[in-house]
Structure formats: C-alpha cells, structure tokens
Amino acid sequence: MKTIVKFLVFFVVISTFLSSCSILQKGDGFQGIITYDITYESDELSASDRAQLPTEMVVYISDNKVRQDQTTAFYSFSQIFDFNDGSTIILMDVMGQKIAVKQSKEEFEEAMEMAEIKEPEIKFVDETKQIAGYRSKKAELIMDGDVVDVFYTDELDVPEKINENTEFKGIKGLLMDYTVIKEGLIMTTTVREINSSRVAAHKFKIPDDYELKTAEELGGMFGM
C-alpha cells in the first residue's frame, strides 16, 4: 500500500484536466469538470497492484482554482491548487483515515525544489488531433532521457499557471493526452469528457471531517 500511495503522490503532483452544448472559448474563463481515463503498462505490475491504481482522474476548475481527484477501492487522493495565492491542499482518505495537508506558496515551492522536478526540453510538433471535441496540439518532451508525447489544447481559458509546478512546465494549455514513465511503469492519461458547468465552492476547501497535518507528519505516516 505504501508503494502505491507514494506513486500516486508523485503523479498527482505532476499531473497534472463533452457533454455540454455551450463550449467556453478562450477569454471566457473556463469553469467545469474534466474527466480523464488512466491506463498503465508494465511487465512487473501485478494484478493486486493494478487494483490499487486509479483508472480515472476528475479535475474541477473554477475561479483560478484547480482540484484533481483520484479514487480506488482502497483510498482517495485529491490535490487542490489555488493560483490566486499559490497555496496547495492535499486530501487523503486511506481506508477511512482522512487527512488534509495545507501548504503555502513558499512551502509548496520548497517541496517542488526538493522533489527536483526539472523543466523539460520541449519540441513543439506540427501535428494535431481531436480529443473530446477539442483541437489538440502535439509536443514531444524529454524527461530523464525518455521522449514522451503530449497533446494539449489552448481552446479553453484554463488558469495560466496550470502546468507551472509540474514536469509539463512550458506547455500553455490544458493537457489532453500525455504519458509519464516512472521506474519502468508507463502511465497514459487521456481526456474522456469535458463539461462546462458551475463548480461548488466547497470543492476547493478542506472538509470538516478531515484531520489537518503537516507535510512532515504525512510523510512519517506513510514512510515517505
């Protein structure tokens, strides 16, 4: 379980967002819900490990705030970014144990520096494809010697810094289809659906039934 939680913490940080007849275009300030499918490739991933990995990510965007949710039968993991003040909230529910960690802009930037997430080398490619009804542009990123393909769209007015603190820094727009390689595990995340709709304000707050802890306390609990 600890290994899978570590894996999820890493990917939810980098990671990093139609059934609506009203599509918000650039300049309108996108507000809504994006649902991603997640698939995995690995020769060493057992059936029990796969059962502990999320197959879906749901992203909520509103008022320059972004929330990412990933859930399995064993736990749920959420990260909330407030780009107005640079703060971050982590919510974890591991088999009923509900924990929240809030970091200021300075604390989060320090954590990113310690994680040694490097800005990738990016090659923008003259290639596009339609994903969930949006024209998505292609880029090739070099990460730790691996070349990964990324498709993104600039047709939605998402927060300008949405990819700022991730391994996709330099990509201006919403990630639509991307691959991450970590210790032999290949994870591909693809947008399935984009809904333009109001997002409740409570989605970006710590629920009352969560226990607030520091990042150090959280790391100690899971041996990170």
State pLDDT tens for residues 30-69.
999 999 999 998 878 788 888 888 999 999 999 999 999 9
CA-wise closest residue to 143 among 173, 171, 161, 168: 168
Enumerate the H helices of the chain as residue ranges.
Answer: 2-14, 47-51, 105-115, 215-221
> What number of other Cβ atoms are within 10 A of residue 73's Cβ?
7
Start-to-end CA distance of the chain, whole Å, equals: 12
Phi, psi of 79, deg, nearest 5: -135, 135
Residue 204 · residue 80 · CB < 8 Å: yes
Least confident among 9-13, 144-148, 161-165, 218-222: 9-13
Fold of 2-205: outer membrane lipoprotein receptor (LolB), chain A (2.50.20)
Residue 192 banded pLDDT, cuts 50, 70, 90: very high
- Residue that wins the pLDDT comparison between 91 and 29: 91
Q: Give the position of tokens 């210790």.
A: 183
Spatial CB neighbours of 195, under 8 Å, sequence gap ≥ 6: 18, 19, 20, 32, 33, 34, 35
The one-letter code for the residue type at 91 is: L
Q: Give the position of tokens 């947008």.
A: 191
Rounded CA separation 70/78 (Å): 6
Per-residue confidence (pLDDT) for residue 182, from 0 to 100: 80
Rounded CA separation 87/97 (Å): 23
Per-residue confidence (pLDDT) for residue 17, from 0 to 100: 33
Residue 145 banded pLDDT, cuts 50, 70, 90: confident
SS3 of the chain: helix, strand, coil, percent, to 5: 20, 45, 40
